[in-house]
Amino acid sequence: MDLIIESLAIVGGTALDVLPIAAFLFVFQWLVIGGRMPDRNRILAGFVLVVVGLGCFLVGLEEALFPLGRMMAEQLTDPALIGGVGAAIGEIGHIRWSDYYWVYAFAFSIGFSTALAEPAVLAVALKARDVSGGAIHPWGLRVAVALGVAVGVTLGCFRIVTGTPLPYYIMAGYAVVIVQTWFAPRLIVPLAYDSGGVTTSTVTVPLVAALGLGLAESVPGRSPLLDGFGLVAFAALFPIMSVLGYAQLSQWLGARRAAGGDGPDPPAIASEEE
Amino acid sequence: MFDVLRALGRDLRDSLRDLTPIVVVIAVFELLVLRQPAARLAPLAGGVVLVVIGLTLFIYGLKLALFPVGENLAHALARKGSVFWLIAFAFALGFGTTVAEPALIAVAAEAGKIAAAAGIIEASPESQSRYAGGLRITVALAVGVALVLGVMRIIAGWSLPAMIIGGYGLVMAMTIIAPADIVGIAYDSGGVTTSTVTVPLVAALGVGLASSLQGRNPMLDGFGLIAFASLTPILFVMGYGMVINWT
C-alpha cells in the first residue's frame, strides 16, 4: 500500500519533469511549422505513458537498483570475505588494495556485460563500419567498447579503494585521448567522442553510481562525497580510448595487409587502451 | 491493437536485455562468491520488475509522442535554414530532454543525500531536493549550451577535435579552482546526461542538419553533438559547486 502511495507521488513529480520538453515541442511545432499537431490523441497517450513509466522506473530504482549496488559493495568488501585466514586471526587492520579483488572482478563483469548488451553501442558499431568502409568490424568494436567500460569501472573502483585523487586519472585519460586523436583516422573521431556518452545506459548508470558510493562507505577511511563519485566518468572516458585504439589498429592492420606485410610503424597508441 | 501489443513486446524485450546482464552478474556473485541464500534477494525482485515495466512504458511513450514530433521538427528546422530558430531549438531540446532524463534524476537525488550527510548543505529533505534540483537545472543548461555550440559548429564547420581538446583544457583549469567535493559529481554528470531521452533526438538533429547543409558530410559533421553534451556539464557543475560554496 505504501508503495502505491509513494508511486502516485512520484508520478506526480515526474509529470513536472516531462513538462518542459512537452511544452518546448508544442511551442516550436506551433511557431515554426504552424498548423495543428498531427495525431493529437496518439501524442497525448504517449506522454501519459512517459510519465507513468518514468514514475515506475524511479520507484524501482529506489527499491532495487540502488540497494543492489550498495549491497554488492558492502558484501564484497566484507572483511570476512576478503580477509580469509587473516580475518580469523584478527589481522583485519591491514587490508591492502589488492585484497579487494572480488570488487574488481565484479566491477569488470558489470562493465563488460552491460556495455556488450547495450543497443546504443551496437548502433555506434554499425555506423563505424559504414564510416570505415568495412575496415572496422562491428563485433570487434563492441568488444573493444565493452573492454573499455570494464577497465574503466575497474580502475574507478581501484581509485576509490586507494583514495587517490580523481582528477589525476581523468587528466591522464584526456591526455591519452588527445594524443590518440592526433593519430586516429579522421572519420572515426566524432563517432569515438560520441561513444563515450552513449555506452552507459539508464539502468547501468544508477547501479554503477550506487556501487561507487557503497564502496566509499564500506572501505575504511573513504568519504562518499570525496571518493564515491567518478565511476560513471571512468565508464564514459575509457570507451573513447578503446574506440580510437580499435579504429587505429584496424586501419593499421588493413594498411599492412594491403602493403604485403610492410606497413607503417606499429602505432604505440593502439596498445595503450588497457 | 495487435500492433500496439507487438511494439510494447519489443520494448519490453529491450528493457529486459538492458537488465539481464546486471541480474546475471549479480546472481553469479551472490550465489557463487558470497554464497548468499537466494531468499535474501527476494525483496528486491519487486523493484526490478518495476524498473522493467517503467522503462518499457517510458520508451514506448517516447516513441509514440516525443521522437516523431522531435525528429520531424529537427528536420523541418534544418531545412528551413533559419539560424536563429535552429539555435533556439537546439537549446530548448538540450534543456528539455535533460530535465526528463531518468538517470540524471536518480543520481542528482543521490548526490543531494550524500551532500547532506557530509554537511555541505542542511540535512533536511527540502534543502536536499533544492540541491538536487539545482544540479539538474545546471546540467540541463549545460546540455542546452552544448547543443547550441554543436549546431554552430556544424553550420560553421569548425573542427571538432580542436573544440573538444579546448574543452578538456578548460576542465583541467576549473578542476584546480573548484571545491574538491564537487569534482567527482561534476565528472560523473558528463556521462549521466546522455541516455534514453537525449541521444535519439540529438542524433536526429545533428544528422538532419548535416545532411541538409551543402558540403557537409553527415558522418563527419553530424556526430559530435553528444560529445559536447558530455563535456559542458562537467564545467557547469563545477561552476555550480563554486557558487554553492560562496553562498
Q: What is the pLDDT of residues B50-93, one digit of tens each?
A: 888 888 888 888 888 877 887 778 778 777 777 888 888 889 98
Q: Do B29 and A72 touch (CB under 8 A)?
A: yes
Residues of B in contact with A65 (CB under 8 A): 22, 47-48, 51
Contact residues, B window 163-192, toward A, CB-based 8 Å cutoff: 164-165, 168, 171-172, 175, 180-181, 183-185, 187-188, 190-192
**Closest CB from A3, A50, A190 relative to B66:** A50
**What is the model's pLDDT at position A1?**
62
Three cell numbers, residue B79: 531545412
φ, ψ at B122 (rounded to 5°): -60, 145
Distance (Å, whole) CA A76 – CA A128 = 38
In chain A, which residues have their Cβ closer than 8 Å to the Cβ of B61?
A: 45-53
CA of A11, closest CA in chain B: separation in Å? 11
Domain positions in chain A: 1-63, 77-273
Q: What secondary structure does DSSP assign to B79-99, as a single string?
A: HH--HHHHHHHHHHHHHHHHH
SS (H, E, C) chain A: CHHHHHHHHHHHHHHHHHHHHHHHHHHHHHHHHCCCCCCHHHHHHHHHHHHHHHHHHHHHHHHHHHHHHHHHHHHHCCHHHHHCHHHHCCCCCCCCHHHHHHHHHHHHHHHHHHHHHCHHHHHHHHHHHHHCCCCCCHHHHHHHHHHHHHHHHHHHHHHHHHCCCHHHHHHHHHHHHHHHHHHCCCCHHHHHHHHHHHCCCCCHHHHHHHHHHHHHHHCCCCCHHHHCCCHHHHHHHHHHHHHHHHHHHHHHHHHHHHCCCCCCCCCCHHHHHC
Q: How far is CA A268 from CA A149, A191, A245, B154, in A?
A: 21, 21, 10, 32
Residue A254, C-beta contacts closer than 8 angstroms, at least 6 positions apart: A135
pLDDT tens-digit series, residues B174-220: 999 988 888 989 998 888 876 677 777 777 777 777 777 766 666 66
Q: CB count, 10 Å around CB of B114?
A: 24
Distance between CA atoms of residues A46 and A40, nearest Å: 10
- Tell which A residues from 128 to 157 touch B, by Cβ distance under 8 Å: 130-131
Most B-contacting residue of A25, A179, A227 (CB-CB within 10 A), to test interface: A25
ipTM greater than cut 0.90: no
**What CA–CA distance (Å, rounded) separates A271 from A206?**
31
pTM: 0.83
> What is the b/e burial string over B68-83, where b = at least 16 CB atoms within 10 angstroms of the residue's CB?
bbbbbbbbbbbeeeee
Distance of residue A109 Cα from the nearest chain B Cα, in angstroms: 7
Name the B residues in 14-73 with CB < 8 Å from any A CB: 14, 17-22, 24-26, 28-30, 33-34, 36, 44-66, 68-70, 72-73
Model confidence over B127-175: pLDDT tens digits? 888 899 999 999 999 999 999 998 888 888 788 888 888 998 999 899 9
**3-state SS record for A139-202:** HHHHHHHHHHHHHHHHHHHHHHHHCCCHHHHHHHHHHHHHHHHHHCCCCHHHHHHHHHHHCCCC
Which one of A28, A52, A206 has the shortest CB-CB distance to B92?
Answer: A28
pLDDT given for residue B141 in this prediction: 95
Which residues in chain A have Cβ-Cβ distances shorter than 8 Å to B192?
200, 205, 209, 232
- In this prediction, the residues of chain A whose per-residue pLDDT falls under 50 are 85-92, 262-274
Q: How confident is the model at residue B28 (pLDDT cuts 50, 70, 90)?
A: confident
Report yes or no: A62 at the B interface, CB cutoff 8 Å: yes
pLDDT value for A271: 40
CB spacing of B219 vs A24 below 8 angstroms: no
Amino acid at A40: R
From residue A247, how far is each of A145, B154, B239 by CA, in Å? 11, 23, 35
